[in-house]
Structure 1
Amino acid sequence: MNTLLLTAGRVLLALYFLIPGIMKFVSWDMHIQLMEKHDMPFVSLLLGLAGIFQIGAAALLIANRFTWLVALLLVGLVLVINVSLHDFWNYSGLEGAHEMQNFIKNLGILAGLLILSGYSIPERFKAMS
């Protein structure tokens, strides 16, 4: 049962990155506008890199390869996205509430990634902690 639950959680986390990764290319202009609205630099380059990274990371999570490392790298991505694109402190009203909801939701995703990384870290690294 433990393996089934961990596998289901890992695959669901992977889908959380796979689908948005694909959508970055499908809805390119919409994502460019979103990033520009938040005054991000190098939007085309960063959007392309984020999409490729999300798709690749999701594939590795689904395949259960380098899971601990991929999960930690995705933690970094979530942190950057949270601070850059879900900056609720810069908005008020409904838009501010929506950004705060996304920010807090992403903290939950971040927690799941940290737990996944901790559970999947190789034994040779566990001895170092």
Structure 2
Amino acid sequence: MSQAVFSLARILVVVLFCVSGFQKLMNPAGVATLVAGKGLPYPQVLAYLTIAAELGLGLLIALGFYARTASVLLAGFTIATIVVFHNFWSMSGEAARLNQIQALKNLSIVGGLLMIAAAGPGRFALNRR
């Protein structure tokens, strides 16, 4: 029973990334515009890397295929999004409040990803590394 719950939890941690990555895949130009708006170089390249991180790594974790490695990579990606896109400490008013909520949500997700990295994918996975 606990292995089934663990596998369900592994999947639920990455649902957000899979859905978001798929939505971004449907509009990579919009993602590139958001990236460019933050002053980052190579917005088209970063847009596709974002899609690969969210959708690709999210699916690997959900399937339990190289889940430890994918979890560490996705945790790093998520921390980067906090620093670049949800930098509430440099904002004020409602924008600061909303971005702080997003940053804290992302930080909580990083905790879940690191638990997957530490514990592995569980019994119900394509590989159990």
Please indicate, yes or no, whether the TM-score normalized by the shorter chain is above 0.5: yes
Cα displacement (A) at 1:79: 1.1
The question of whether the paired residues in 1 share the 8 Å contact of 2:29 and 2:44 is answered with no
The question of whether the paired residues in 2 share the 8 Å contact of 1:71 and 1:113 is answered with yes
2:125 equivalent in structure 1: none
The farther-off stretch of 86-95 and 26-35 is: 26-35
Cα displacement (A) at 1:21: 0.8
Task: For 1:28 and 1:69, locate their aligned partners in 2 and report how far apart those are by CA, in whole Å.
Answer: 25
2:83 equivalent in structure 1: 83
Task: For 2:45 and 2:102, locate their aligned partners in 1 and report how far apart those are by CA, in whole Å.
Answer: 23
2:54 equivalent in structure 1: 54
CA deviation profile, 1:49-98 (whole Å, cap 9, x unmatched): 11023211122112211111110111110111110111112211111111
Cα displacement (A) at 1:39: 2.1
1:33 equivalent in structure 2: 33
Task: For 1:115 and 1:93, locate their aligned partners in 2 and report how far apart those are by CA, in whole Å.
Answer: 34
Task: For 2:100 and 2:59, locate their aligned partners in 1 and report how far apart those are by CA, in whole Å.
Answer: 29
1:124 equivalent in structure 2: none
Secondary structure, aligned partner of 1:53:
helix
Cα displacement (A) at 1:110: 0.3
The farther-off stretch of 20-29 and 70-79 is: 20-29
2:94 equivalent in structure 1: 94
Using CA pairs under 8 Å that are at least 6 residues apart, name the structure with larger relative contact order, 1 or 2: 2
Task: For 1:60 and 1:34, locate their aligned partners in 2 and report how far apart those are by CA, in whole Å.
Answer: 26
Cα displacement (A) at 1:37: 2.9
Task: For 1:69 and 1:100, locate their aligned partners in 2 and report how far apart those are by CA, in whole Å.
Answer: 28
Task: For 2:45 and 2:30, locate their aligned partners in 1 and report how far apart those are by CA, in whole Å.
Answer: 15
Task: For 1:91 and 1:39, locate their aligned partners in 2 and report how far apart those are by CA, in whole Å.
Answer: 16
Aligned pairs, number: 122
CA RMSD of aligned residues (A): 1.8
- Structure 2, unaligned stretches of length 5 or more? 122-129
TM-score by length of 1: 0.85
Cα displacement (A) at 1:109: 0.2
Task: For 1:11 and 1:29, locate their aligned partners in 2 and report how far apart those are by CA, in whole Å.
Answer: 28
What pairs with 1:1-129 in structure 2 (closer than 5 Å)? 1-120=1-120
Task: For 1:36 and 1:99, locate their aligned partners in 2 and report how far apart those are by CA, in whole Å.
Answer: 19
